[in-house]
């Protein structure tokens, strides 16, 4: 088990290093995750809206049943049918409890729907931020690329500046130093 954990940790570290070295890929990965989260949130919103509509229909139906049983209670009382009044009142009370439960469920769905809509807005805002960063990175890369191209076209710019960050400069410098050393050794060997 430890070997797999070590391998997993190694791969995660390598992935993080790779993404750090290639920020555009990291931005693409984040943007893809946000897109998937937004799709999931939209499906959740649609599901909650369907639940809310169903609960509203059930509440309306229950309210109509309560109204019908209330009229039956009044009719039974007016007719002096006490044997029907008590069961009708119990039915009305049961329907009232069901209506209250449905109302509470609807309230819970509305709260979750509100949270899901806020989450969707947050995801969209974050996605726009990531998209803007990716666009900025592409613009910087294009600018950097055009600067390199224009420096080749500009005859007044005769050589690249020597910087420690220039890997090609370092390779040539090392090679030239080694070449000079080997020439000195040959001369001293004569």
pLDDT (tens digit per residue) in 15-48: 667 666 666 677 787 888 888 999 999 999 999 9
d(CA 15, CA 136): 23
Q: Is residue 148 over pLDDT 70?
A: no
pLDDT at 105: 97
Q: How confident is the model at residue 152 (pLDDT cuts 50, 70, 90)?
A: low
pLDDT (tens digit per residue) in 89-103: 999 999 999 999 999
pTM (whole model) above 0.85: no
Average pLDDT, the chain: 82
Q: How confident is the model at residue 4 (pLDDT cuts 50, 70, 90)?
A: low
Q: How many CB atoms lie within 10 A of CB 100?
A: 12
d(CA 187, CA 190): 6
> 3-class DSSP state for residue 1?
coil
Which residues lie below 8 Å from residue 141, measured CB to CB, with a gap of 6+?
24
Residue 114 C-alpha from the chain's centroid: 17
d(CA 116, CA 108): 12
Distances (CA, A) of 41 to 30, 50, 62, 126: 16, 14, 31, 14
Which residues lie below 8 Å from residue 169, measured CB to CB, with a gap of 6+?
160, 162, 163
pLDDT (tens digit per residue) in 29-38: 788 888 899 9
DSSP string, 73-92: HHHHHHTT-HHHHHHHHHHH
Q: Which of 40-44, 56-60, 143-147, 157-161 has the lowest mean pLDDT?
A: 157-161
Q: How confident is the model at residue 137 (pLDDT cuts 50, 70, 90)?
A: confident
3-state helix, strand, coil in the chain (%, to 5): 90, 0, 10
Distances (CA, A) of 108 to 63, 77, 102: 19, 38, 10
């Amino acid at each position: 088990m430890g070997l797999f954990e070590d391998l997993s940790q190694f791969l995660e570290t390598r992935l993080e290093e790779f993404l750090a070295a290639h920020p555009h890929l990291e931005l693409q990965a984040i943007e893809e995750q946000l897109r998937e989260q937004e799709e999931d949130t939209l499906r959740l919103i649609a599901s909650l809206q369907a639940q809310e509509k169903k609960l509203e229909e059930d509440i309306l139906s229950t309210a109509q049943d309560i109204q019908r049983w209330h009229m039956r209670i009044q009719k039974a009382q007016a007719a002096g049918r006490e044997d029907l009044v008590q069961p009708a009142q119990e039915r009305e009370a049961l329907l009232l409890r069901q209506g209250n439960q449905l109302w509470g469920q609807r309230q819970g769905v509305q709260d979750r729907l509100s949270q899901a809509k806020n989450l969707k807005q947050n995801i969209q805002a974050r996605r726009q931020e990531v998209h803007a960063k990716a666009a900025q990175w592409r613009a910087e890369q294009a600018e950097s690329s055009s600067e390199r191209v224009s420096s080749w076209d500009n005859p007044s710019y005769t050589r690249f500046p020597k910087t420690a960050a220039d890997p090609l400069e370092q390779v040539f410098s090392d090679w030239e130093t080694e070449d000079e050393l080997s020439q000195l050794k040959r001369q001293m060997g004569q």
